[in-house]
A and B are shown apart, each in its own frame.
Chain A
Amino acid sequence: MISHFLKFLSFNGTPGEYGSTLWATIYILVIFGVASVAVMLMTYLERKILAHMQIRLGPMRVGPHGLLQPIADALKLLIKEDIVPDGADKFLFWMAPVAVMMTAFTGYLVIPFGKQHAVTNMNIGVLFMLGISSLGVLAVVMAGWSSNSKYALMGGLRSAAQMVSYEVAMGLAVVSALMMTSLATGTGTMSMIGIVESQQQQGSWFIFKFFPVGLIAFVVFAIAMVAETNRAPFDLPEAESELTAGFHTEYSGFRWSLFFLGEYVAMIGVSSIAVTLWLGGWLRPFPNALSGATWDTAFSTAPGILFFVLAAMCFIGFARMPKKPSFKVQSIGLGVFGVVLGMIGAVLLVPMVRVRVADIFWFSAKVGVFMYLYIWYRGTFPRYRFDQLMKVGWKVLLPISLAVLVLVAVIGVRHELLAGLMGVAR
């Protein structure tokens, strides 16, 4: 058993490549758990950051600075009454939230959190991811249709139109990134791990490739990504002021929370695609320019240091808590939380852990930036009107992404020809 364990640890690849169902299952369970916790954290951060942007405080009462709020929310949702409308199509009504969750989580099979930290290295990774995430539309339409409610139906229809039209621009932007992977080796790859490796090989994240072109493709993807996940300013399917809650109007309690979970998991999933395609996936900053053992060590201390900073923030909060008996429990809680964070930071500094965790850390950090962007957009932009939405999708993003595609092809061929003429070694 232990030898099995050690053998896998020394194997430099994913469980899929190793061919071990057991390890794949363990990875899947870990990813499932971590993604759920990340969603809880995300709901807390979203409420807090959004509140601060609107000059409010956000949750403050449940735990120190509202840190236990997500747990309280989850508990509330679990014990809430679960209502099925009388006229609803019972089977589809049951299936829709499950389908949303399953499509959101299935995409995680191919997300590379690190070179060894993916469930499997599928050779059609990006295609699989995009295909699975488009299935989410079906689930949303299912929810809207089966609820037997006008609001839900309108939300479902809007969602279908929106997600289908933005998928086109998104797909074209992805194709231009995929074409970039073929530059150095001559053959492109759709494997998520292969894409990151080719970025390392070419010595540049694809966002900086052929300077403005890669950036434009990335921007198109970043906009389409927000529309794909039905988030503000493209949150028409669940527009509160127009459709109460859109496609999940009739859902309550646990099933509503499945929708919620699915939405946030999908957000993280789509951000992971963006990070993998354009921002160098799990690669740390400057893996080629600043290579060598010293730099490796320096960069691999980053996760530990981050946790120490978080712990320090907790202690500052602890020191600044009002000195009143009513704040005693909260202060102690914040202190304990800081100690726990500090201990995690200390564990992350152990050399054996440090090496293993660095790539996961850089990947999560990049995804975290996207999560912040999602919240930031929500705090800033008003919702698009439906005709504006369609105009942006079809008349702006689609032509731009087509132009970028052609540009990448032309520049890429020229680049390759020049490289061939000059006899530059590949």
Chain B
Amino acid sequence: MSIAPLLRKIFLVDLMKGLSITFSHQGPKDCQTEQYPQERPTIADRYRGQPLMKLGENGESLCIGCNLCALACPENLITMKSDRDPVTKKKVMTTYVYDVSRCMFCGLCEEACPTQSLKLGTGYEMALYTRDGMVLDREVLEHRKDPEPYDK
């Protein structure tokens, strides 16, 4: 054994190095932990969270009843029905059911939507006590607001 590694071993240099590293990281400022309910994470704009349907400027539905979102969904969790309006001769969506309990938030429905009506929003607190509550209909999707943040 050459002399330098031997000396390093005798004077426990490597152990001291390790000790100095752990010692220098003790400051509370280094902490990465987020105190969740009190501190909240910043959510990116394109975060794919809670689904919602955007409305037009006058509060009219942007949905044209094309059914593309339901076709795009890999989980087949969107069911929609549409009728032709007798006056304007346009297709109008009548029922829309979105089952979040099966959703994997892939965002394919959002991409498929030609009018950008359907959107996966930034809400992320979607825990519920029942499965029924996860089946969202048109009313909920259109008038959904971000949930009241837990702040006690």
B25 at the interface (CB under 8 A from A): yes
A52 at the interface (CB under 8 A from B): yes
Knowing A55-B31, A326-B152, the reply to whether A49 touches B26 (Cβ < 8 A) is yes
A361 to B69, CA, bound (A): 73
Knowing A57-B33, A324-B38, the reply to whether A52 touches B152 (Cβ < 8 A) is no
Chain A minimum-CB-distance residue to B152: A326
A381 to B33, CA, bound (A): 23
The 3 A-B pairs at the shortest CB distance, nearest first, are namely A57-B33, A380-B22, A53-B22
Partner of A52, one of B27, B38, B151: B27
B1 at the interface (CB under 8 A from A): no
Contact with A along B14-50 (1 / 0, CB 8 A): 0100110111011110111101011000000000000
Task: Please report B residues at the A interface, Cβ cutoff 8 Å.
Answer: 15, 18-19, 21-23, 25-28, 30-33, 35, 37-38, 151-152
Task: Please report A residues at the B interface, Cβ cutoff 8 Å.
Answer: 49, 52-53, 55-57, 60, 322, 324-327, 376-377, 379-381
B13 to chain A, nearest CB (A): 14
Cβ–Cβ contact B152 & A57, under 8 A: no
Q: Which residues in A have their C-beta under 8 angstroms from that of B28?
A: 52, 57
Q: Which residues in B have their C-beta under 8 angstroms from that of A52?
A: 25-28, 30-31
Cβ–Cβ contact A322 & B38, under 8 A: yes
Chain A minimum-CB-distance residue to B39: A322
Cβ–Cβ contact A55 & B35, under 8 A: no
Q: Which residues in A have their C-beta under 8 angstroms from that of B15?
A: 380-381
Cβ–Cβ contact B18 & A324, under 8 A: no
Cβ–Cβ contact A379 & B22, under 8 A: yes
Chain A minimum-CB-distance residue to B16: A380
B54 to chain A, nearest CB (A): 33
B124 to chain A, nearest CB (A): 20
Q: Which residues in A have their C-beta under 8 angstroms from that of B37?
A: 326
A173 to B19, CA, bound (A): 24
Cβ–Cβ contact A57 & B31, under 8 A: yes
A-B contact pairs, 30 of them (CB 8 A): A52-B25, A52-B26, A52-B28, A52-B30, A52-B31, A53-B22, A53-B23, A55-B25, A55-B30, A55-B31, A55-B33, A56-B31, A56-B33, A57-B31, A57-B33, A57-B35, A60-B35, A324-B151, A326-B37, A326-B38, A326-B152, A327-B38, A376-B22, A376-B23, A379-B22, A380-B15, A380-B21, A380-B22, A381-B15, A381-B18
Cβ–Cβ contact A376 & B151, under 8 A: no
Cβ–Cβ contact B26 & A53, under 8 A: yes
A49 to B22, CA, bound (A): 10
Cβ–Cβ contact A380 & B26, under 8 A: no
A322 to B40, CA, bound (A): 13
Chain B minimum-CB-distance residue to A327: B38
Chain B minimum-CB-distance residue to A56: B33
A56 to B18, CA, bound (A): 18
A53 to B28, CA, bound (A): 9
Chain B minimum-CB-distance residue to A322: B38
Q: Point out which of B26, B30, B151 has the most chain A C-beta atoms below 10 A from its C-beta.
A: B26
Q: Which residues in A have their C-beta under 8 angstroms from that of B31?
A: 52, 55-57
Partner of A380, one of B18, B33, B152: B18
Knowing A324-B38, A380-B22, the reply to whether A55 touches B152 (Cβ < 8 A) is no
Q: Which residues in B have their C-beta under 8 angstroms from that of A379?
A: 22
Partner of B152, one of A322, A325, A376: A325
Q: Which residues in B have their C-beta under 8 angstroms from that of A381?
A: 15, 18
A377 to B22, CA, bound (A): 9
Knowing A376-B23, A381-B15, the reply to whether A55 touches B32 (Cβ < 8 A) is yes
Q: Which residues in A have their C-beta under 8 angstroms from that of B151?
A: 324, 326
Chain A minimum-CB-distance residue to B30: A55
Given contacts A53-B22, A56-B33, A377-B19, 7 further A-B contacts (CB under 8 A): A52-B26, A56-B32, A322-B38, A325-B152, A376-B22, A379-B22, A380-B19
A321 to chain B, nearest CB (A): 10
B11 to chain A, nearest CB (A): 10
Q: Which residues in A have their C-beta under 8 angstroms from that of B32?
A: 55-56
A55 to B33, CA, bound (A): 8
Q: Which residues in A have their C-beta under 8 angstroms from that of B27?
A: 52
Chain A minimum-CB-distance residue to B150: A326
Chain A minimum-CB-distance residue to B9: A396
Q: Which residues in B have their C-beta under 8 angstroms from that of A322?
A: 38
B103 to chain A, nearest CB (A): 32
A380 to B18, CA, bound (A): 6
B9 to chain A, nearest CB (A): 10
A329 to B151, CA, bound (A): 15
